[in-house]
Structure formats: structure tokens, C-alpha cells
Amino acid sequence: MPSSPLASRLDLELKPDRPPILRVDTPDDAASWASEHRDALRAQVTEHGAVLVRGLELREVDQVGAVFAGLSGGLMTEREAFATRESYGQGLYSSSTWPTNQPMCMHHELSYTVEVPGLMLFACLTAPGEGGATAVADAEQVLQALPTALTDRFEREGWLLTRSYNDEIGASLEESFGTDDHAAVERYCRANDIDFTWQPDGSLRTRQRRGAVVRHPVTGRRCWFNQIAFLNQWTLAPEVREYLVDVYGEDGLPFNTRFGDGTPIGEDVVQLLNSTYEELTRREPWQAGDLMLVDNIRTAHSREAYTGERRVLVAMAEPCRPADLSPTPEASQR
């Protein structure tokens, strides 16, 4: 892909251990700048997987919302969230609530849904004292680095996400589905290929089988696209996992992942996935005012542990349904 006009006018820094960085002179109106450069900037995201824009000096929620709107064709409403967020309306959210001393490992946002965001938008209003980077990893490289036998199995079978909704851990029923009406939740599940069971106490358990490898909707390249490691019990801190298993049992964990045939995924597999991500991780510490765009199909992202206050706003855009989200032709015809 040839360099865009935006790249030729601005200082695009390319280093192997960092996401590409565009440094800009602070515009009088960040939203107008975003609208003017939307196509060129989006082309760079497709080419590189992610771009960090430094110099817009984003400071206010309304300003971020206007910039995000200028860079997208409309923001998505999150459904099936696994953790709570604060909503600022019209598809603008806080980052997920997660313990500051525990990392959120590499994942692709909402990779377990039928309609996934093609683009993630992040804006840092307050940078943490230490840590807290939104790091990225190339999903094409991850797929190539993993053992072929393992990726072949996941590509053949897909992966299974199991969830148990309760009022104590993770997002509530209403936060995930936008309603706590059982009939409405059931309609959503049926429409989105999710098996569901209501428990005697009124809580909900779900299972959904999804593809682990997809083709990028623009480039056609194969990407390792899932949340197999992130939502698996072995990624949790040992003390957290032990507590949850003790309280809820392995079948009642708030979330867990399995091979597509229902077989448990071993700790060794999860460690391999996470270590492969780490080898391919690129990170750049947040600075207040930064903007970051991430191609959600091409690029996994994480949130590292941090100290101090950290305020990052998030939005999802460009909904898409990758043609091979289902692991097999038979599954796609269900």
C-alpha cells in the first residue's frame, strides 16, 4: 500500500518495539482535524495495524466524542461486555473496570460476538504514573508464530466461551445485554447463536462457539482473532482463580474458554498463547492528550498494570462480520 498524504506530511515514527506514532502540531480544532484526515489516517491503520497520534491534546470528554465521531462512520453500542464501563452516551465509554495491579492480557475486542468492531478508538485524558500502556500485537504474526498443530485444531473446531452472569463479578445481565428482561435476553441469544440456560436462582449461563482464525475484511490476510487466552481461567491471577473456583465451581466461573469440542484448555496452552503475545508486543506509554486507533481484526491490544490515576476513553466502530467467523462450513450453516 503506498504512503498516504497524511504520512508524507507528518512525522510517522516506525520502531519495532512500538506502535507507529504520528506527531502533529496541535490544531485549533481537533475534531475538524480528525474529519479532514480520516481517510488517510484510516489507511495507515490498515497498513500498520495501529497508529498513536500525539499532539492533539485531547482533554475533555465532549472533545474526544467529537474526534471519535469525525474518525468513524458512527460508534457502536457495546453488547456482551465482560466487565463494567462508564457510559458517556452515543458509543463513548470509559475503559473496562479491572484491578489496576493486574494486566488485561492481549485480546481482540468482542471477538466472541457475531458482529465485531473493526476499529477501536482510544483517547488518554489522564496518563498513569507508571505502566498502564495499551500495548498491541500483530495478529498475523501471532498466527504464524504459534504451533501449526494448535492453530489447525482451533481453526478446525473454533473455541467455546462459557459465561455465568451474577451480580458480584463482571458485567451484569443488564450491562451485557442492555436489558434484564428475560424474554429480550433470550431473543438476543437466539439471534446471535448463543446457547443459554436459566439457573434455579434466576442467573444466566451461556455458551457460544466462535472461529479462532479469520480473514481480514480488507486485506484478506489470515489473523489469529479470539479471546481464548484472555477469558480463560488460567490467565487469572492464581489467588483470584482459586477464590472464584472455590465460590462458583469451575462450571460456574464468570467466564472461561474451551476448545471448540468442549475439551478444557490446559494451563500450558494458555501460557504459550500469552508468551507468544508478549514476544510480539509493541508498547508506548500513554501521554495525556494522546489518540490511538487500532485495527481490531489485524491487531490485538492489552492494558498493562499501572499505578496512579489513569483515564482512557474508548469507542468501537466499523462493525463487520468476518466471512469465516464460524470454524467450519457446517457451523456457518447452522
CATH code of 251's domain: 3.60.130.10
**pLDDT band at 204, cuts 50/70/90?**
very high
Which range (47-56, 103-112, 189-198, 322-331) has the least confidence? 322-331
**pLDDT band at 286, cuts 50/70/90?**
very high
Look at residue 11 and tell me whether its pLDDT is greater than 70: no
Which range (1-5, 266-270, 282-286, 317-321) has the least confidence? 1-5
pTM of the model: 0.92
Q: Same domain for 159 and 250?
A: yes
Look at residue 85 and tell me whether its pLDDT is greater than 90: yes
Q: Domain for residue 178, yes or no?
A: yes
Which range (27-41, 54-68, 112-126, 319-333) has the least confidence? 319-333
Q: What is the average per-residue pLDDT within 213-226? A: 94
For 106, the grid coordinates are: 492481549
Give the per-residue pLDDT at 332: 36
Which letter does DSSP use for residue 114 in this model?
Answer: S
Q: Same domain for 304 and 187?
A: no
Q: Same domain for 237 and 288?
A: no
Q: Same domain for 183 and 294?
A: no
Q: Which amino acid is at 315?
A: A
Last residue of a domain, one of 275, 293, 310: 275
Strands 92-94 and 291-295: unpaired
- Provide the mean pLDDT of the chain: 92
Q: Same domain for 126 and 11?
A: yes
Residue 332 neighbours by CB distance under 10 Å: 13
The beta strand positions in the chain, using DSSP E, are 11-13, 21-23, 50-54, 92-94, 104-107, 116-126, 130-131, 136-138, 159-165, 195-198, 204-210, 213-215, 222-224, 255-259, 281-282, 291-295, 299-303, 306-307, 311-320
Overall domain count for the chain: 2
Q: Same domain for 168 and 66?
A: no
Q: Same domain for 102 and 42?
A: yes
Among residues 79, 76, 316, which one has the least CA distance to residue 179?
79
Q: Same domain for 230 and 259?
A: yes
Q: Domain for residue 55, yes or no?
A: yes
Look at residue 7 and tell me whether its pLDDT is greater than 60: no
Range of the domain at 92: 5-130+284-320
Chain-centre distance for alpha carbon 212: 14
What is the chain's alpha carbon radius of gyration, rounded to the nearest angstrom? 19
Strands 255-259 and 281-282: unpaired
Q: Domain for residue 265, yes or no?
A: yes
**pLDDT band at 323, cuts 50/70/90?**
low
Q: Domain for residue 269, yes or no?
A: yes
Q: Same domain for 250 and 149?
A: yes
State how far the Cα of 48 lies from the Cα of 51, in Å rounded to an integer. 7
